[in-house]
Amino acid sequence: MSAVPKPQYQFRPMTAADLDAIMEIEPHIYSHPWTRGNFADSLKSAHNAWVLMHNEEIIGYALMMMVLDEAHLLNLSISKAYQKQGLGRLLLEHMISIAQTLNAANMFLEVRASNISAIALYENIGFNEMAVRRGYYPAHHGREDAILMGLAI
């Protein structure tokens, strides 16, 4: 048995009280971050919104919209200090589990074409490229394509 304790991670539903902490993370990991209003609107729309906690700190979050039997992953984010530790996968698997609980048949998402590490994670989980949405995302110089990916669950 190891004397080093394993880090403790917990999931809980996101609340409006979490937005200050989320707004501390979001602009450090995206060139075009969501606004506080985007998060507040998602919460008001009763989207499935979860935070990933390490001890008492929010280190990640995800939001998902359900439409009939389809889950649309809107945002999946891990704080920069906690990236590359498998926590994005942990959070994605949690969201897939939530979608299954809600009887979703499929999960869909868009990802920037330049976000190679996210695309690799999604493919590793079993997502497949379905289409390219030309000019979907704002970019520093013009627009960037999104890859539409889907997973049968």
Strand order in the sheet with 70-78: 9-13, 48-54, 57-67, 70-78, 106-112, 142-152, 128-139
DSSP tag of 95: H
Radius of gyration of the chain measured on its C-alpha atoms = 16
Query: What number does CATH give the domain 9-152?
Result: 3.40.630.30
Q: Tell me how far apart the alpha carbons of residues 117 and 70 are, in angstroms, rounded to a whole number.
A: 24
List the catalytic residues. Answer: 110, 122
3-state DSSP assignment of residue 83: coil
- Provide the whole-model pTM: 0.91
User: How deeply is 22 buried, as exposed, middle or buried, from its count of CB atoms within 10 A (0-12, 13-18, 19+)?
Assistant: buried
pLDDT per residue as tens, the chain (153 positions): 555 656 689 999 999 999 999 999 999 998 899 999 999 999 999 999 999 999 999 999 999 999 999 999 999 999 999 999 999 999 999 999 999 999 999 999 999 999 999 999 999 999 999 999 998 888 878 898 999 999 999
